[in-house]
Structure 1
Amino acid sequence: MSISTPTASTSTHSFPGLRVNVRDFGTVVGLLLIFAVFAFIAPGFLSERNLMNVLLQSSINACVALGMTLVIISGGIDLSVGPTAALSAVLSAALMVAGVPPAIAIVAGLALGAVCGFINGALVAFGGLQPFIVTLGTLSTYRALALISTGGNPILGVPAGFRAVANGYFFGIPASVTVVIVVALIAFILLRKTPFGEYLLAVGGNEEAAHIAGVPIALTKIGAYVLSGVLAALAALILIGRLGAAEPILGNLWELDAIAAAAIGGASLMGGKGSISGTLLGAIILGAMRNGLTLLNVQAFYQLLATGLIILFAMLVDRATRGRS
């Protein structure tokens, strides 16, 4: 079935032999400016070791933000990604500590993330509830389940074998960065080259028109939330591989970072628009900003302030862009 959908990202301008995405180009310029500023005021920012740290710090947020982008494109929002990650993390860690093979524990954690996403999507699609309200409720529910199941205590002793793989390198690239690259490629193909991607854009752009065109609205929304839950769980597995432990409070404010990365990258909270490459750039911008502020010994709550201001600025830019379209 062929349907008319909004584009996956913002407006483009065509030149002979060249197609330029204005929003992604602006995001790249913003990233370069941030790097230039911190290179000037923060000694060591451009060192190879620190740039690798920026990528490592950005990888977890990028993984979560890619799932968030798909949900936002469909016209929804997922505030429960942090608690979903925590619940998946404590399950996988508990299984590994109990002697279950890491491969099985990983699958179990990802499956739990999918279940959490399915619950969110089903409540939105079949319950007729607003995504904000649904995921605000499951944010508390999933966090409570993580705390109750662990008694509020961290799960220690994640096997060294799992940690070695999680902290390893593939062709000189950190494993977590490699995972995010693979996930981003899959997400790009899913969004741009499959009917599901068309459905996401159609539902987020105009749900009534999509329904008339025969788009499976409920399944599309559920699919987006399931992918968001799986990617939140995957991010949690990356983190417990680094830390060697899983805490029930893991993932605090991950939803804010993920929304910020998606918004910076061109996703519209009105739905129907988003960019996989833009989200990756957005995650790197946030990672670089926080890394640079840390090098300058700026306190963490000022970093949170900066994230909030970036979200507001991105929304103003999106509104201005839509006003001209």
Structure 2
Amino acid sequence: MDALRHGAERLRRDVGTAIFARVAGPDGEEVRSRIHDTPGPRWFGPDRPIRTVHADASMFVGGLSALLLQTLHPLAMAAVDQHSAYRHSPWGRLQRTSVFLATTTYGTAADAQAAVDRVRSVHADVHGTAPDGRAYDATDPHLLEWVHLAEIRCFLAAYRRYGAQPLTPRQEDGYVADTARVARALGVLAPPTDVAALERRFAEFHAELSVTPAARDAARYLVLDPPLPLVARPAYLGLSLAAVDLLPWWARIALGLPLPMPVRASAPVAGHLLVRGIRWATRPPQTPRAPETPSPPGPPDPPDA
């Protein structure tokens, strides 16, 4: 029995290490230590909902779903298509995004602001003309709002379905309010601060959305042709099914990703198995952390951007 236990623990560590390396990059341990162990005030205290949601393995499903949904704004998709190397370096993009989320959620206020400043600096060079002739600019508060809405709506939807502990309606509103602080720092002018406002603003964007060839290409790449070895494809298929199933029905149709009823019925099962497997493999080590100085309860005023 001891040998089986030790073997299972070794397998858990090996799988967890592989997942962490993909998400956090080669210097992930150093980055994690800096984010969590550096003492100082944080944007969000330990009891804030943003910490609960962003720490959960359901983020894997929510993140892929958000990427798919974001492609449906033609100007946002043009910016990604023309300025991002997501096909050539998809893991690099994933790692940069995960470090940004971790830093703004758990890092010191100074590190969180520095992470925001880096993103804004990159956005300043992202502008051009979409295939339909319209100009786009990654610093446009309206486009930034769409990216934000799609992201947190998918994160929240994934947590509702696959999260370890359900949130109360008040906590869900708190999550939206927490993420609004980061959105304002990035340049969104008036991000929603509760679930009702999130749904209202999301619905208002619907008229601006349409599928483009670039969006369908990106969706096919993300769902059907990811840069993964064959041994990892079955697990990724479960992730893809769960992520596509979270999309609104009209988004699935537009992207050419309709799920036949028998397949859709199996998507939550696949999602639960995948998320529980990731949660088991990536269980964090029980090590003491440096004391934090949290912000006052509730989302504080955003820093000057």
Query: TM tier, shorter chain?
Result: under 0.3
Query: Normalising by structure 1, what TM-score?
Result: 0.25
- TM-score w.r.t. the length of structure 2 is 0.26
Higher relative helix content: 1
